[in-house]
Amino acid sequence: MKKIYKVLCLGAFIVPSLLFAQKPEVTIKKASAAINVDGIGTDAAWTSAPKIAIDKPYNGETVVNGDATFQMLYDADNLYVFVNVTDDVVILDNAGDWKGDKFELYIGLPGYVPGAGAGDDHARQFFGNASQTWFDDATKLSHQNWYGEELWPGVTSRTTDGVSFVYNETVAGYAYEFKINKSALENVDFATIDSLAFDFTLADNDVVGDGVGVRNRKVYYNTGNLQYANENWSAMDLATLKFEKVAVSAKPEVTVRSSSTAIIIDGAGTDAAWSIAPKIAIDKPYAGETVVNGDATFQMLHDADHLYVFVNVKDDVVTLDNSGDWKGDKFELYIGLPGYIPGAGAGDDHARQFFGNASQTWFDDATKLTHQNWYGEELWPGVTSRTTDGVTFAYNETVDGYAYEFKINKSALENVDFNSIDSLGFDFTLADNDVVGDGLGVRNRKVFYNTGNLQYANENWSAMDLATLKFEKVFVPEGDKPMVSIKKASAEITVDGTGTETAWNAAPKIAIDKPYSGETVVNGDATFQMLYDADNLYVFVNITDDVVTLDNSGDWKGDKFELYIGLPGYIPGAGAGDDHARQFFGNASQTWFDDATKLTHQNWYGEELWPGVTSRATDGVTFAYNETVAGYAYEFKINKSALENVDFATIDSLAFDFTLADNDIVGDGLGVRNRKVFYNTGNLQYANENWSAMDLATLTFDKSSSVREPLKT
């Protein structure tokens, strides 16, 4: 008896557990590509969605020849549903709400109470009747439910309150495809929600007029044998719909280095500065698109005021198609500025879009080729360098494709400070569309980052999801700057270019020996010495150079040296053109025709350069040039009148640096530079160019007396 009792007790506990078995769970994936709602369900994205049968007979009912499967996917904003019904006879019966063939989808949103029914505030019901038609494009077939509400026909795509759907009568039955926007689902967030509740019902009622509200149904889950299951609509007991969360890898980061030298915007990208900028591929296919023969790389640099971009595209056929905004070949750069909201799109207040169309031309120097986007706005042609709202760019059609070079002033980027900002958002898109007139807004794209499989990624322009662009910061702690202390001259100095006066013995020879970033000085070496008296700063520069060259063809041609001085009030990084900055220089191998006429040698601005064979005075500066056995030398006497009448007796320090250039190939490139410096190597803050953004060492003035006072008792 004891054994029988135990078995009976066990049975008593098993029965309820069978009645309330665990609800089935269906996990749906995020759509891998855009879905075209056409009632066919053949888009590539549907291949990842399993077909699940609606195959459980509802309690006491019979579906004779009707079978169905459903598939579901989601993206950031929509739930997609495809229902495919196999039915030997497809019937629409207008006599009642449940007559004829149909299917229903039930959804329980957060806050839905199981059993409350489809009329609950947090419940939704979507359905599709078979064999629906339209009389014309505007008039629905007269088919009403019990409440006199018009039912959705669904022959072609229709949109109702955030729901788009298409009906398709197939060879084997019929199908419905739905795109249900989250706005129709209380704006549920598919990216964060764990699950919803759901069920499907299929009705196959082929006897016309057979009873009011007749039902012959199959379901996915609620068979009518469960709690709340007397009627799926009025007391929904639902299965669980879970949302697969796609792990999004960390966004790539690209660090933009500070430009070491000036960049000429010519579309060639051959300036020395570009040598430090890595070439990064734009190589990820956009979801569902194909770029056959187009490849591209980008490079980026910055200075205090500009972002520089060079895009080099290899393309077997370079095409411009004027018939639409996205026709032909092009590239785009997207930037998200501080305050940009991911997914807000390129039209956001804090977003920017820059693009270049391939094969652009100009009719003349003033008239653009007529090429407009969808909004009737003229597009940038870009054959030669053009400036538009702070953006200078140049287009170059190369042997194997085309290239664009951009100089984007910070004024076009909300005056962002590249020296202090941590990062911006960015991405690149390359389009290769070589079939002229092939579809409106056709797109075959590669990108740097946003492949279309990410949140917000349905379209780079309209919902930008961006990588991270960081800016190289090279900060120089104040204590790291070298300090040179100069003495007061012990005797008078004759400025003759020889530096042999006794006073110079007290001034150490200091080397100008640090290579400037990315440059090479082969056989040039130099030292400087400095002294001062009550009214003057004295400088002697002695250069050892195997070949002493003067090249009149440009401002930086041939051999030369420069001295930069920052006076009180000078702002580091402001450049030699600052009100409180001074620049002094001497070109090698200078001569005079006579005692009064200078050699004709001008800089880019048409200003005469200092020759310096014998002592000359210019605006408070006296100097002498001397071509020596080993090279050449300059001796300067700079009166305080040329230095804002600074008082050497009381001032503590000035800022300074030296540059030596050794350029012996006559006519070798515009503005060529091979330099050594005393301090600013081009790897420091503000150091992209000593002249335009000076970062200077410290020059102090030794106030000690050279003669001891008598000992007093």
The pLDDT value recorded for residue 326 is: 66
pLDDT at 441: 58
Burial class for 291, CB neighbours closer than 10 Å (0-12, 13-18, 19+): buried
| Distant-in-sequence, close-in-space partners of 304: CB < 8 Å, separation ≥ 6 | 418, 419, 573, 686, 688, 693
CB 155 within 8 A of CB 132: yes
* Of 234, 214, 177, residue with least CA distance to 100: 214
Q: What is the pLDDT of residue 260?
A: 58
- Other residues' Cβ atoms within 10 Å of the Cβ of residue 584: 21
* CA distance readout (Å), 347 to 377, 442, 462: 15, 20, 7
Quick one: 578 exposed, middle or buried, by C-beta within 10 A (0-12, 13-18, 19+)? middle
Query: Would you call 618 helix, strand, or coil by DSSP?
Result: strand
Measured between alpha carbons, how far is 382 from 612 in angstroms, rounded to an integer?
45
Residue 420: predicted pLDDT: 80
**Environment class of residue 371 by beta-carbon count within 10 Å: exposed (0-12), middle (13-18) or buried (19+)?**
buried
Q: How far is CA 343 from CA 117, 425, 447, 455, 462, in A?
A: 36, 11, 16, 8, 7
pLDDT average per 10 residues of sequence, the chain (713 residues): 26 35 85 83 90 92 85 92 91 67 90 84 84 47 41 41 82 91 90 90 78 78 80 82 77 84 85 87 86 87 90 86 69 89 80 78 41 40 45 84 90 86 90 70 82 68 84 60 90 90 92 84 86 95 86 67 89 77 78 43 41 47 84 90 91 91 68 81 68 82 58 32
CB-facing half-sphere around the CA of 617: CA atoms within 13 A: 4
Strand partners, 423: 470
Q: Which three-class secondary structure string do you get for 56-96?
A: EECCCCCCCCEEEEEEEEECCCEEEEEEEEEECCCCCCCCC
Q: Which helix (H) or strand (E) holds 15?
A: helix 2-19
Residues 86 and 466 sit within 8 Å (Cβ to Cβ): no
